[in-house]
């Protein structure tokens, strides 16, 4: 007898993951393949769409071959958000690389928009502050780089989309061109109040509406798989969920818990929490659409560009080629020795939103060692999370009793205990490395009517609690204040 499964794809910045989930919500097979990231110029960050598609196909096949007998009832896709590409509608040929969320090529454009006092106008419609992180300026820049790009887009010859949209297109052999509310809300072109592409924003950024995908719920039939000779997916298999990765992780961990806040630790980091009112005014955080699973949910979010990436950068500087070895070096001393690292390697994101900030390593003395620098880099991850966590409490007017955490760095038990001690809050660590892709599978299950909200809440969770130690609070809070002083110095120096 064949096992009914949902095949869920997670296209991330560093790798592709695919899992198979059965009707009890259990992962019965999984596969993964790393991806390359290139920096062709200073400030540029790109990936090959063809390499991503090949990795997706490979992982699907690897995942399926581990299951004796299966019946794929639906496909789900979750993706690195804010990454964008352009392809030809008739041929499906990509004509740009995937310009990923880390890319800063439009920094000058963003600075000019700020000088023109456009931030309040844009934020009121999208919930997002001006920053190269968001695709609006990147799309404008890419269209200008293509001969007759604007006119071709206006004529309907070009497709512009995030990775979920492109993979939906590829799986369906070019028959379906759609994205979901969560990904659309991160483009800075989508009015989150009217829930549609915004004509005034499209005019501001010189982007024709005709090149953008249809926006549909996250839990929805977005299309059907076409015939692929290299994939064991039956033609007509429905594509039943699209959702951004941070949103999927929140859904996977907390479902519809309005009192939960979740942090994903990755190359960068995101803290996200559900809210009822999208009109909250805040310069520190973004308001965004969390998902649409039959009901549309909004969220507060804070994006940090360099957490794991900042730690890895210090490793390169010190000549340490693995995060494990760098962690060992960091923990070989019992304090940071007064050293602090501000990883503003591409400006500072939430809650500071300083485009011009530069990285800072301070507190160095003749007794500073490489161990102190490594420890400062490791601690910087927790400090940045705390900056956003406390900003989120302030903006929402709520005190969170705990923080849900997921992502690669959460395997580091020392870091997680340090985070709990710093926040003086309980952490709920998800021991499942596939939480984003599992969240996408949950949304797919809603489309297929496998699970009600009540059933979703009862699906098995693999988590553990990390409790804060009160006796550590005084010293950690002292260091955290010094960290905040260093951030102020970093920001002040860019304004002089």
pLDDT at 496 over 50: no
pLDDT 10s digits, 8-32: 999 998 899 999 999 999 999 999 9
Closest Cα partner for 184 from 135, 112, 256? Answer: 135
Closest Cα partner for 393 from 277, 259, 197, 491? Answer: 259
* CA distances to 172, 369, 383, 386 from 167, in Å: 8, 47, 36, 35
Please answer whether residues 235 and 225 qualify as being in contact, where contact means their C-beta atoms are separated by less than 8 angstroms.
Answer: yes
How many Cβ atoms from other residues are within 10 Å of residue 119's Cβ? 17
Q: What is the mean pLDDT of residues 443-459?
A: 88
Cis ω before 147 (30° cut-off from 0): no
What Rg do the C-alpha atoms of the chain give, in angstroms? 22
> What are the structural domains, with CATH classification, of the chain?
3-246 (3.30.420.40), 255-430+462-496 (3.30.420.40)
- Confidence tier at 348 by pLDDT (50, 70, 90): confident
Please answer whether residues 73 and 4 qualify as being in contact, where contact means their C-beta atoms are separated by less than 8 angstroms.
Answer: yes
Q: Is 307 helix (H, G, I), strand (E, B) or coil?
A: coil
* Of 95-104, 260-269, 435-444, the least confident: 260-269
pLDDT 10s digits, 244-293: 998 998 998 876 666 789 998 988 898 999 888 787 778 889 899 999 99
pLDDT 10s digits, 362-393: 999 999 999 999 999 999 999 999 999 999 99
The residues near 281 (Cβ < 8 Å, ≥ 6 apart) are none
Please answer whether residues 327 and 378 qualify as being in contact, where contact means their C-beta atoms are separated by less than 8 angstroms.
Answer: yes
Q: Is 299 helix (H, G, I), strand (E, B) or coil?
A: strand
* CA distances to 38, 111, 373, 378 from 318, in Å: 21, 33, 9, 13
Please answer whether residues 300 and 246 qualify as being in contact, where contact means their C-beta atoms are separated by less than 8 angstroms.
Answer: no
Rounded to an integer, what distance in angstroms lies between the CA atom of residue 28 and that of residue 20? 6
Q: What is the pLDDT of residue 435?
A: 85
137, HSE (Cβ side, Cα atoms, 13 Å): 22
Rounded to an integer, what distance in angstroms lies between the CA atom of residue 428 and that of residue 402? 7
pLDDT 10s digits, 37-84: 999 998 899 999 999 999 999 999 999 998 988 899 999 999 999 999
Percentage of the chain lying above the pLDDT 70 cut: 98
Q: What is the pLDDT of residue 492?
A: 62
What is Dmax (Cα atoms) for the chain? Answer: 70
The strands making up 98-99's β-sheet, listed across from edge to edge, are 46-47, 98-99, 84-88, 158-162
Residue in this structure with the two tokens 């071959």, named with its chain if needed: 65
pLDDT 10s digits, 102-148: 899 999 999 999 999 999 999 999 999 899 999 999 999 999 999 99
Please answer whether residues 388 and 246 qualify as being in contact, where contact means their C-beta atoms are separated by less than 8 angstroms.
Answer: no
The first and second tokens of residue 395, run together, are: 């903006």
Rounded to an integer, what distance in angstroms lies between the CA atom of residue 164 and that of residue 361? 37
The sign one gets for the Cα dihedral 435, 80, 442, 76 is negative
Mean pLDDT of the chain: 92
Closest Cα partner for 469 from 404, 423, 428? Answer: 423
User: Residues 10-32, buried b or exposed e (16+ Cβ, 10 A)?
Assistant: bbbbbebbbbbbbeebebebbbb
The sign one gets for the Cα dihedral 209, 213, 218, 220 is positive
Rounded to an integer, what distance in angstroms lies between the CA atom of residue 436 and that of residue 264? 9
pTM above 0.95, yes or no: no
Q: What is the pLDDT of residue 457?
A: 78
């Amino acid at each position: 007898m064949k096992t009914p499964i949902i095949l869920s794809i997670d296209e991330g910045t560093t790798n592709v993951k695919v899992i198979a989930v059965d009707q009890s919500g259990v992962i019965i097979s999984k596969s993964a393949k790393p991806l390359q990231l290139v920096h062709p110029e200073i400030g540029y960050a790109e990936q090959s769409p063809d390499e991503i598609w090949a990795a997706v196909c490979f992982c699907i096949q690897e995942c399926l071959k581990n299951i004796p007998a299966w019946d794929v009832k639906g496909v789900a896709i979750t993706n690195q958000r804010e990454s964008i590409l352009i392809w030809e509608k008739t041929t499906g040929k990509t004509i740009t690389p995937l310009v990923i969320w880390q890319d800063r090529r439009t920094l000058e454009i963003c600075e000019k928009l700020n000088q023109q006092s456009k931030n309040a106008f844009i934020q009121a419609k999208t919930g997002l502050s001006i920053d190269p992180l968001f695709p609006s300026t990147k799309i404008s820049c890419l269209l200008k780089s293509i001969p007759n790009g604007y006119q071709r887009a206006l004529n309907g010859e070009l497709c512009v989309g995030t990775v979920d949209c492109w993979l939906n297109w590829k799986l369906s052999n070019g028959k379906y061109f759609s994205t979901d509310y969560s990904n659309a809300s991160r483009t800075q072109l989508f009015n989150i109040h009217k829930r549609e592409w915004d004509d005034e924003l499209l005019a501001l950024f010189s982007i024709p509406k005709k090149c953008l995908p249809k926006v549909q719920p996250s839990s929805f039939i977005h299309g059907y798989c076409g015939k692929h000779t290299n994939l064991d997916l039956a033609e007509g298999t429905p594509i039943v969920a699209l959702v951004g990765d941070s949103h999927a992780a929140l859904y996977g961990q907390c479902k519809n818990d309005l009192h939960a806040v979740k942090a994903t630790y990755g190359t960068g980091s995101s803290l996200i929490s559900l809210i009822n009112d999208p009109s909250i005014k805040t310069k520190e955080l973004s308001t965004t659409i969390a998902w649409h699973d039959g009901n549309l949910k909004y969220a507060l979010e804070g994006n940090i560009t360099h957490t794991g990436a900042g730690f890895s950068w210090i490793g390169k500087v010190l000549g340490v080629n693995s995060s494990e070895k760098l962690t060992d070096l960091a923990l070989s001393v019992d304090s940071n020795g007064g050293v602090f690292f501000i990883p503003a390697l591409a400006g500072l994101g939430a809650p500071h939103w300083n485009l011009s900030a530069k990285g800072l390593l301070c507190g160095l003395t003749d007794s500073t060692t490489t161990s102190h620098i490594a420890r400062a880099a490791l601690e910087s991850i927790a400090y940045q999370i705390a900056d956003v966590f406390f900003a989120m409490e302030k903006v929402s007017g709520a005190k969170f009793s705990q923080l849900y955490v997921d992502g690669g760095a959460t395997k580091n038990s020392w870091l997680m205990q340090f985070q709990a001690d710093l926040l003086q809050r309980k952490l709920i660590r998800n021991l499942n490395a596939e939480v984003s892709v599992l969240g996408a599978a949950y949304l797919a299950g809603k489309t297929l009517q496998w699970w009600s909200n009540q059933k979703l809440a009862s699906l098995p969770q693999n988590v553990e609690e990390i409790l804060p130690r009160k006796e550590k609070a005084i010293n950690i809070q002292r260091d955290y204040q010094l960290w905040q002083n260093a951030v102020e110095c970093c920001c002040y120096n860019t304004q002089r």
